[in-house]
Amino acid sequence: MSSKKNVKVKTYNPKKRSNNRMMIVGAVVAIIVIAFVGYVVATHLGPSASLSSQTTPSPAPTVSSSPTSSGSPYPSVTPLTSPTGEYSAGGTKVLFITSKGDIVIQMRDDKPITTANFVKLVNEGYYNNTIFQRVIAGFMIQGGEGKTTQPTITNLESGDGNSNLNMTIAMANAGGTNTASTQFFINVADNSNLDSGYTVFGQVIYGQNGVMAISNAPVSYSSEYAATVLPTPTITLKGAVVMP
């Protein structure tokens, strides 16, 4: 019985309950106010406070209204200077912007007819938005299929060192005398059997991986060539520009 006397009985105190409710409400209101102030500070003051430690993004650079796939105006390249007579540090360089990456080709100095014709077509925008219409893995990739009729040039310029080596570019032709025009191909192997009929006018000095990616692309049947050589899906030459 004595143990029961020591048990305290809590009674209902309306005034105390009211005070507790007011304290809870006040705490909730305080939390809401603090959260709101924090949101305002983060939203309106955060970017300005950290701007000095951030790099402000600049508009994407363009080359003749066509951005490069790498996001830079021109890739950094080391110009060819040998063999002497074929290449020089000031040799014309052309940037291909393709759906498989950027490719830079340096022209040969000793093939002036072929080089001048190619550079003229590039400057006219002829190759923009064309496709690589014929691809054979382990052999070559071919592009520049005619949008319009263009004058023809000699198939083979005189000169030494006309070697269709891996990563060189040469003019395609129709098989007859002086039938080269707009179509070109890039060798992805050493194709010495082509030396006597196809003018090599440059070499890939940047983007060899892109060239190989094109050469290894899936292909479907081409009615034009009656062979399974057409890249599927289409591989596009988005633009070609002469580099400064």
Q: Which helix (H) or strand (E) holds 98?
A: strand 93-98
Residue 160, pLDDT score: 82
pLDDT digits (tens, 9 = 90+) for 184-220: 999 999 999 999 999 999 999 999 999 999 999 999 9
Is residue 95 within 8 Å of 63, Cβ to Cβ? Answer: yes
What are the pLDDT digits (tens) for 57-93?
323 334 444 445 555 689 999 999 999 999 999 999 9
Higher pLDDT pick, 174 / 138: 138
Q: 93-242, what's its fold?
A: Cyclophilin (2.40.100)
Tens digit of each residue's pLDDT (9 = 90 or more) over 146-168: 899 999 999 889 778 999 999 99
Q: Choose the weakest-confidence range: 48-62, 133-147, 225-239.
A: 48-62
- Name the residue ranges covered by the structural domains of the chain: 12-57, 93-242
Task: Give the residue among 197, 244, 200 at the shortest CA–CA distance from 110.
Answer: 200
Q: Which of these, 71, 100, 62, lies nearest to 211 by C-alpha position?
A: 100
Name the token pair of 21. 């409710």
- pTM, two decimals, is 0.72
